[in-house]
Structure 1
Amino acid sequence: MKRVIIIIVVIVAALGAIAYVLSNNKKKNEAKTAFIAEGGGAVAVRVATVEKKVVDLDFVANGNFAPKQELNFLSENAGRVTAIYVDEGARVSKGQVLARVDAEIINTDRETAQATLQNAQRDEARYQSSYETGGVTQQQLDQAKLATRNAKLRLQASQRKVSDANIKSPINGIINKRYIEVGAFVNTQGTQLFEIVDVSKLKLKVNVNESQVANLKIGDNIEIKSSIFPDEKFSGKVTFIAAKADATLNFPIEVEVSNNTKNSLRAGMYGTAVFNFPKQAPSILVPRTSFVGSVSSNQVFVYDKSNNTSKVRKVVTGRILGDNVEILDGLKEGETVITSGQINLAEGTAVSIVK
């Protein structure tokens, strides 16, 4: 019994949904019929006057600040950490010693390489002397010279490792994280030591659409605002413009921003890029809906006031500016373009304007 009731309820709900859809479609058809009827037998259309307007290209875009430089600093030598000279939050300079790794094994390798070089140099001197008296061949002398060069290279590599026992900062910045403690063992496979971030300059990453990116170029100066520091003034410069749109058909842009002397801005904060452009000369604009099919068709219908008919007009389009399109050629100021009803029009079709 319960199952029968459920089936009946489902059937009633389905019939109700069908009735609602049919009623809604009937209302839409009646509205279309009324719209056409207003034309008095002609095709009812809506129109817009072709006007010259000043194009405002200014816009703003929001994004997040990212550090211009950040580095996850890894170990290059194996050993035990014997000293750490900086804490998290410390400001460091390029070349400053941050920590030291026990260099006992490294020093031993250097001493061995030094002894090997000295022996190779003595052997080369003996071979050179013997060669001059005919005691050895040219090949034996060349092998002695090669052994000396190889020993020099091994010594240089060992000396580099000794120098690397003092872990130095490769950039200017702030120690954002420290991953080691005194007594910890690091290996040559790249133990993470420090995360260093430079916020003296940051990158503001924003996205712009196709009409906006067309007016940008590398090196443009941009005003930057921060809601956290509304009284502070920041400036930036466009350093990157994507050559390809992303999945949302927007173009990623990067603006390099100079921080203030207090480094108030921090990576991860929100920022606003204000793009200001010189005042533009007035341009002929028409609604985007004026085009037959799409803007790429370069075809519109013009309303002929003398006999209330439609005329096909080929035009040359410029920039797409929101809901309007710039017309470079094909229309004159004061003419009237048809903005709706084009699907029912042809050359010379009688039309009636619906307000």
Structure 2
Amino acid sequence: MKRGIITVIIIAAAFAGIMFVLNKNKAKNEADTATVAIQNAAVAVRADTVQHRDVNAQYITNGVFAPKQEVVLSAETSGKVIRVLVQEGAFVKTGQTLAIIDGDKQNVNVSNAQAVYNNAEAEVARFESAFSTGGVTKQQLDQVKLQLENAKNNLKSAKLAASDVNITASFPGVVNSRSIEPGSYVSPGQQMFEIVNVSTLKLKINVDEKNIGQVKLGQNIKVQSTVLSDQTFNGVVTFIAPKADGSLNFPVELEIKNNASNDLKAGMYGTAYFGGDQAVQALVVPRNAFVGSISSNQIFVADNGKAVLKHVVSGRSFGDYIEIISGLEEGTVVITSGQINLLDGTPVEIIK
């Protein structure tokens, strides 16, 4: 009996010792985990400083050159293509014949319409003579005159259809594409040629709301293409949209006269330079300091080891830098990367 009691006491003491050790280890582990959590709570970010910089005040924006004139010529009558008179890449003049469609059917229609018109004309002359002697009534005379008018209109329509067998250029330009060959059968509306005039081009660009005020109709703008970096072209502002798009940009169109060899091509990228090439001092931050887009006007600053969300008023764009009108002071440290992991008040660690 006494031995059993001793055994129970020993087991209880061992169990109590085990529990003591486990609790001690648990407390140590929790303390270590808390320490690691504190160390790892700070989000690694990169930063820059708000400061006054000498920046180029010139506003630069890019667009794509488009032809001032382009048209797709389609068949207006059905028939077989007899001749194709131009190749792709050929320069054509206004009114030049590009292709000829078999007009036998149209010519037959003209002959038939002409015969009907001649007969109606003779009928009117006969009825007018009979009317003068009382042989026909005024109503009968009016009916044959109406028939003559209808015959005249049908003849005119037949002649127009017959003239449609000649496909002609509506303005001077270059044959950009040709989709027919001699012997092809075409139907009304079928595409035959695409004519493009690149002697004058349009450059379609977007100007943000902070710079649209300096753009005026008729203004001369320096234009360049990266493909023709050694040449400079003059652009004239011909259109300014009265309404901005969803990104607060205003579509603007410039008209550019090509050089003698038409080196500028539709589809090339072009760059427009607004304002003079002059340096000014401005309070700026890097473009990538903004949360999301520049239009959000939100920037995280690093303050006492924490990220603080600031609302600012942004100004002009200077390439990689954006002017700050209000909301930040010179010397403020702004976060330029890692913003996706931040909330207002998140601990941060600035890395190089």
The TM-score range, normalised by the shorter chain, is 0.5 to 0.7
Match of 1:60 in 2: 60
Deviation per CA, 1:194-248: give whole Å up to 9, x if none: 1111101111111111011122122211111122222323111111222222233
1:215 aligned residue: 214
1:68-115 deviations in whole A, cap 9, x for unaligned? 111111100100000010000000011100000000000000001111
Q: Is 1:254 aligned to residue 265 of structure 2?
A: no
- The offset of 1:20, in angstroms, is 7.3
Give the Cα–Cα distance (whole angstroms) in 1 for the partners of residues 36 and 64 of structure 2: 48
CA contact (8 A) 2:56 2:277 kept: no
Gaps of 5+ in 1: 1-15, 29-46, 289-317, 327-336, 341-355
User: Partners in 1 of 2:217 and 2:273 — Cα distance?
Assistant: 15
Using the alignment, how far apart are the partners of 1:205 and 1:119 within structure 2?
59
CA change 1:125–1:268 in 2 (3 A) is same
Query: Counterparts of 1:53-92 in structure 2 under 5 Å?
Result: 58-92=58-92
SS in 2 for 1:64: strand
The 5 Å alignment of 1:52-201 reads: 58-188=58-188, 190-201=189-200
Q: Given the superposition, is the C-alpha separation of residues 18 and 141 from structure 1 closer, same or farther in structure 2, using an over 3 Å criterion?
A: farther
Q: Deviations over 1:259-296 (max 9, x none)?
A: 011111111111111112699xx99x8889xxxxxxxx
Tell me the amino acid that sits aligned with residue 119 of structure 1: N
The Cα shift of 1:164 comes to 1.4
Q: Which stretch of structure 1 is more off in the superposition, 138-147 or 73-82? A: 138-147
Counterpart of 2:211 in 1: which secondary structure?
helix
Deviation, structure 1 residue 54: 11
Give the match for residue 297 of structure 2: none
State the SS of the aligned residue for 2:195: strand
> Which structure would you say has the larger Rg?
2
Unaligned runs of 5+ in 2: 1-31, 45-49, 286-312, 317-321, 333-352
Equivalents in 1 of 2:77, 2:256: separation in Å?
36
TM-score, normalised to structure 1's length? 0.65
Following the alignment from structure 1 to structure 2, what is the Cα–Cα distance between the partners of residues 21 and 234?
61
* Secondary structure of 1:107's aligned partner: helix
In structure 2, C-alpha distance between the alignment counterparts of 1:210 and 1:195, rounded to whole Å: 37
Per the alignment, do residues 207 and 22 of structure 1 end up closer, same or farther by CA in structure 2, a change over 3 Å counting? Answer: farther
Match of 1:101, as an amino acid?
I
Q: How much has 1:17 moved relative to structure 2?
A: 11
Deviation at 1:25, TM superposition (A): 5.2
Task: Tell me if 1:238 matches 2:231.
Answer: no
Q: Name the CA distance, whole Å, in 1 between partners of 2:246 and 2:119.
A: 65
Moved over 6 A (4+): 16-21, 53-56, 285-288, 337-340
Can you list the C-alpha shifts for 1:52-72, whole angstroms capped at 9, x where unaligned?
x99975311111111111111
Deviation at 1:191, TM superposition (A): 1.0
Deviation at residue 184 of structure 1 after TM alignment: 0.4
TM-score (norm 2): 0.66
Alpha-carbon distance between aligned partners in 2 of 1:17 and 1:76, rounded to the nearest angstrom: 82
Which SS does the other structure have where 2:198 is aligned? strand
Q: Percent identity?
A: 42
- Root-mean-square deviation (Å): 3.6
Give yes or no for contact 1:236–1:256 (8 Å, CA) kept in 2: yes
Q: What one-letter code is carried by the residue in structure 2 that aligns with 1:238?
A: V
Q: Secondary structure at the match of 1:159?
A: helix
2:253 partner letter: E
Q: Check whether the contact 1:287–1:339 (CA below 8 A) recurs between aligned residues.
A: no
Output the CA distance in 1 between the equivalents of 2:203 and 2:33: 51
- Output the CA distance in 2 between the equivalents of 1:17 and 1:195: 73
The SS at the match of 2:214 is coil
Give the structure 2 partner of residue 267 of structure 1.
266
After superposition, the Cα gap between the structure-2 partners of 1:19 and 1:177, relative to the gap in structure 1 and judged at 3 Å, is farther
> Are 2:314 and 2:323, in contact at CA under 8 Å, matched by a contact in 1?
no
Instruction: Tell me the amino acid that sits aligned with residue 258 of structure 2.
Output: N
